[in-house]
Amino acid sequence: MMAKDNTYKKENAFLVLAKRMSRNKNAMFGLTLFVILVLAIIIVPIVSPYQYDKMDVMAIKQGPSSAHLFGTDDLGRDIFTRVFYGGRYSLSISIAAVLFSTAIGTVVGAIAGYFGGAADTVIMRLLDVIQAIPSMLLTIIISAALGVGIDKTIIAIAVGTIPGNVRLLRGTVMQTRENQYLEAAEAIGCSTARRIMKYVIPNSWSPLIVSATMGVAKAILELAALSYIGLGVQPPTPEWGAMLAGARGFLRDYPYMLIFPGLFIAISVLCLNMFGDGLRDALDPKLKD
């Protein structure tokens, strides 16, 4: 009976969240546009008649046309195909970095917030040292130290956002740990690890979900910046930032080479921020139906 009640409560909470989200037109617009973008990123490279890395010396630097919707670059490669294929790298790397950062932030933040004392002091002082360095600068330093590579880029982007996730979850956990159901769980013999994983974290991570959603948008920008200065994804892989870097010498005469990759970066970031704002409002416990 208890299991059925818990299932009902979870489903009911999900329905309430979906209902609140549906009222937010900006959030739904952002989510819809982002889903369309993701589907296009998956489908377009498959159906495109061009390969993202195939060069055509007869089609070098051609403007947008019916044959090449976004034009071609300085090597005759189809920019339309490269933009959508590059979206796979931009989004997957950004999402992977945020998932890694969120996982580490969840564990460390839960430990700091639940136990407090010396563990909390040590963790927070270490975070103070890390956060004394600007996030983007820290990402560049780590990326330069680790070298190029997708896995190294994911780590570099993730490390800079871990402190914020730790602080965010720590504050929520410090409020959650005072609830009576934790005392009841302790009274019936639940281990500390079980209390944290089953009761503390699930009731504390709403702000972290919102932070992760907006964190993907930030990670897209950071990845583009790293690739632009030569520390992220390397050519000929068509990541959006790498495409901007390859086209910066042609801005005056062939601006379309930069416009389309930059436009897709802007659209992705805008959609995620709009959805994140709506998700934050929907998860706000102060809202009343």
pLDDT tens per residue, range 93-141:
999 999 999 999 988 988 888 888 888 899 999 999 988 888 889 999 9
User: What share of the chain has pLDDT > 90, as a percent?
Assistant: 44
Query: Quick one: tokens of 153?
Result: 């880029």
User: Residue 1: is its pLDDT beyond 50?
Assistant: no
C-alpha to C-alpha distance for 110 and 170, rounded to whole angstroms:
6
CB 200 within 8 A of CB 114: yes
Helix 206-228 crosses helix 256-283 at what angle (to 10 degrees)?
170
**203 near 176, Cβ under 8 Å?**
yes
Both tokens of 2, joined, read 């208890």
Q: What DSSP character marks residue 196?
A: I
Reply yes or no on whether the pLDDT at 3 is more than 80.
Answer: no
Q: For 22-64, what is each residue's pLDDT tens digit? A: 888 899 999 999 999 999 999 998 999 999 888 988 889 999 9
Nearest partner of 112 among 34, 165, 151, 180, judged by Cα: 165
For all residues of the chain together, what is the average pLDDT? 86
Domains in the chain, CATH or no CATH each: 2-283 (1.10.3720.10)
Amino acid at position 137, single letter:
L
What is the enclosing helix (H) or strand (E) of 252?
none
Q: DSSP for 211-249, please give it.
A: HHHHHHHHHHHHHHHHHHTTSSSPTTS--HHHHHHHHGG
Q: State both tokens at 112.
A: 């700091």
Two structure tokens written together for 168: 């965010």
The pTM of the full predicted model, rounded to 2 decimals, is 0.86
- d(CA 240, CA 223) in angstroms, rounded, equals 9
- How many Cβ atoms from other residues are within 10 Å of residue 28's Cβ? 15
DSSP per position, 110-154: HHHHHH-HHHHHHHHHHHHHHHTS-HHHHHHHHHHHH-SSHHHHH
Assign 187 to helix, strand or coil. Answer: helix
Q: What is the mean pLDDT of residues 161-177?
A: 85
Statement: residue 8 has pLDDT above 80: no
SS3 label, residue 9: helix
Q: Would you call 277 exposed, middle or buried from its count of C-beta atoms within 10 A (0-12, 13-18, 19+)?
A: middle
DSSP conformation class of 250: G
C-alpha pair distances (Å), 286 with each of 16, 25, 143, 147, 162 = 13, 20, 41, 46, 27
User: In terms of residues, how long is the chain?
Assistant: 289
87: pLDDT strictly greater than 80: yes
Q: Residue 100 half-sphere exposure, CB side, CA atoms within 13 Å?
A: 18
Closest of 265, 268, 253 to residue 71, by C-alpha? 253
Token readout for 162 is: 């871990």
